[in-house]
A and B are shown apart, each in its own frame.
Chain A
Amino acid sequence: MLKVENLTIRFDTRYGPLTAVDDVTFEVRPGEVFGLVGESGAGKSLTGQSIIGLLDPPGYIAGGQITLEGTRIDNLAYNHLRALRGRKIGMIFQDPLTSLNPLYTIGKQLTETILTHSSMTNAEAQKQAIALLTDVGIPGAGERINCYPHQFSGGMRQRVVIALALCVNPQLVIADEPTTALDVSIQAQILSLLKRMCREHGAAVILITHDMGVIAQVAQRVAVMYSGRLVEIGDVRQVVKHPQHPYARGLMGSIPSLHHQVDQLTQIDGTMPRLTDIPSGCAFHPRCPDCFDLCKDKRPPLKKIADSHIACWLYANEAHHAG
């Protein structure tokens, strides 16, 4: 349904162009939850913003294309892009406390969005807004609709945000760290709500997060990003249980498990490189425990190995030997 092909995002700075997202390719299938994980600065949020055309300048799409149901959407004129936002692609931001306009009631923000994209009457929109709020689990939605955002708790506000993102039934919802700002006890509720709402509305989800636990809980497929590049994409069970790329292995090893007693969690030495000095070859090579000469010289391509795609010379050679 959504295809991102060779997406490259650059920032022009005084020191020359910085490539923040480099040659990223993936596909989201209808109705699925697609996870996008990586450390802060890996380019996952930028990828999400570029899909909905909200990349903040000076960032821009320097290459590649994004298509939704066969139509290119990365070079749309403003009016077409606007019609697409909300209607076909919804977005949920990280912080529910700042995502809602403090000066308008949540009802006004909901009906405004519904009316923008449909020819309903005010009363119909109001009714739909109440139905939506009830759906996302706001008790007494009929009265609460006239409340202002500050009268809701963080978790409740994120429920309202989900209702807002889904109010015109988009096919795709980009959820950028939707639970990061919330209490751990609320996180699971919001995640399952997001999953249920998207299933009921038939929307696919791109779930952007740095939390592998969240991905394991709700996603069907997952892409791991490092330094603006994809290092591994695959079925979530495969990637979580048997990660192949050394970076993905490191990430998984760093999650404490309830089922197995682990004496020491794995730690990936070093930090992610800054955009100004991304290493040659494979961007991960200075931190990689399995690095060899080829890694330093040449960037590994994304190769299909079993059911996953992995960008690592370790496996490219293996595949080569096997084939």
Chain B
Amino acid sequence: MLAFIIRRLAQSLFVMFFVAMVAFLMFNYVGDPVHQMVGIDTSFEEREALREHLGLNDPALVQFMRFIGHAMQGEFGLSYQHKRPVADLFRERLPATLELSFVAALLALVVGVPMGVYTGLNRNGFISKLFMTFSLIGISLPTFLIGILLIFIFAVILGWLPSFGRGEVVTVGVWTTGLLTQSGLKALIMPSVTLGLFQLTLIMRLVRSEMLEVLRTDYIKFARARGLSNRAVNFGHALKNTLVPVITITGLQIGSIIAFAIITETVFQWPGMGLMFLQAIHNVDIPIMSAYLLLVAFFFVVINLIVDMLYYVVDPRLRIDLGKANGH
């Protein structure tokens, strides 16, 4: 197990190194950073002085090492557009995005898994067919359209929910949360539904097809032949066997939820990283872009690591080395 974790950590570091390289290249070679910073009337000498001061004349390798060193300390330089450290900007906005993503992922799991189990067990029932039809909507409608439709219905026509923003937030230490106020929770409903709907339907369809597969296996038949209750067979024996693929997909999807919160955040003017990233693209604010790139890669790497460790927890066949080590 330990060897496995160390091996995976090494791989993760490699991935992060590679992403950092891309971020660095983007930082330095997409346009001229000095050009971005100075005004139109800055003289050539002043530009060269600035270039020297920023270390832009050093060899690329030295600059890259410096970039990595700073990145590891959470330093990504100043935002061109906000004139503030990028790290601070992210620190302010990260909670909003993570909260939204977390609630959306939770929604997708808590609703999607039971729906998948239900439709797998009663594949020809009326409700199952209803769920399946509904899931087609979730799969095929683009996120922004769902968001706009929701705003139109619940904010414009019915006036029940706010159409934008995060509501009131409470600061707990370095973290700002909207989960503790009523307006914060209300503001969270539509964005999280919008963001989670696709994953919800995806998970539901995945669980359903895995359930159908597992229910046909011999060990399920044998469990029934031993007189185990339906509950024990369906949830104890069948559902657990569907978990490995479900964990894989869910893990990847949580990564995507964080990364693709961009669209939802834009639609709902949610003050998170995604919205900031989109604004950064408009203004060619490269420090923000490269920091965002690194951060999202970091989330993906961490989630994948967790997913790989969950496999070990769920499936004893993957623990074979460990079992042998303990057996003697």
Given A102-B316, A103-B241, A150-B317, the answer on whether A112 and B221 have CB atoms closer than 8 Å is: no
- Determine whether the beta carbon of B225 is less than 8 Å from that of A52: yes
- Determine whether the beta carbon of A93 is less than 8 Å from that of B226: no
Cα A98 to Cα B219 with chains together (Å): 6
Q: Which of B4-12, B36-44, B187-195, B227-235 contacts A (4 or more CB under 8 A)?
A: B227-235
CB neighbours (8 Å) of A102 from chain B are 219, 241, 315-317
Dominant SS among interface residues on chain B: helix
CB neighbours (8 Å) of B316 from chain A are 102-103, 105, 148, 150
Cα A87 to Cα B316 with chains together (Å): 29
Looking at chain A, what size class is its interface with the partner chain? Answer: 35 or more
**B314 interfacial contact with A, CB 8 Å:** yes
CB neighbours (8 Å) of A103 from chain B are 240-241, 314-316
- Determine whether the beta carbon of B226 is less than 8 Å from that of A99: no
Cα A246 to Cα B224 with chains together (Å): 39
Picked from A83, A84, A148, A164, the residue with its CB within 8 Å of the CB of B222 is A164
What's the least CB distance linking A291 to chain B, in Å? 39
Cα A52 to Cα B127 with chains together (Å): 30
Q: Give the total of B residues in contact with A, Cβ under 8 Å.
A: 25
- Determine whether the beta carbon of B241 is less than 8 Å from that of A101: yes
CB neighbours (8 Å) of B222 from chain A are 91, 93, 99-100, 161, 164
- Indicate the member of B218, B224, B227 with the most A CB atoms within 10 Å: B227
CB neighbours (8 Å) of B217 from chain A are 98
- List residues 181-230 of chain B with CB under 8 A from any CB of chain A: 217-219, 221-230
CB neighbours (8 Å) of A143 from chain B are 327
**B159 interfacial contact with A, CB 8 Å:** no
- List residues 219-266 of chain B with CB under 8 A from any CB of chain A: 219, 221-230, 232, 236-237, 240-241
**B142 interfacial contact with A, CB 8 Å:** no
Cα A120 to Cα B241 with chains together (Å): 28
Cα A103 to Cα B219 with chains together (Å): 11
CB neighbours (8 Å) of B224 from chain A are 54, 85
- Determine whether the beta carbon of A116 is less than 8 Å from that of B229: yes
**A72 interfacial contact with B, CB 8 Å:** no
- Determine whether the beta carbon of B317 is less than 8 Å from that of A148: yes
Cα A93 to Cα B225 with chains together (Å): 10
Given A93-B222, A102-B317, A103-B314, the answer on whether A86 and B227 have CB atoms closer than 8 Å is: yes
Given A99-B222, A100-B222, the answer on whether A112 and B228 have CB atoms closer than 8 Å is: yes
What's the least CB distance linking B232 to chain A, in Å? 7
What's the least CB distance linking B137 to chain A, in Å? 30
**B141 interfacial contact with A, CB 8 Å:** no
14 inter-chain pairs at a CB distance below 8 angstroms, sorted by A residue, are A86-B225, A90-B225, A95-B218, A99-B219, A99-B222, A100-B222, A101-B219, A102-B241, A102-B317, A103-B240, A103-B316, A112-B228, A113-B227, A150-B317
| Inter-chain pairs besides A52-B225, A112-B232, A116-B232, 9 sampled, C-beta below 8 Å | A82-B228, A83-B227, A85-B226, A91-B225, A93-B221, A98-B219, A104-B237, A113-B226, A148-B316
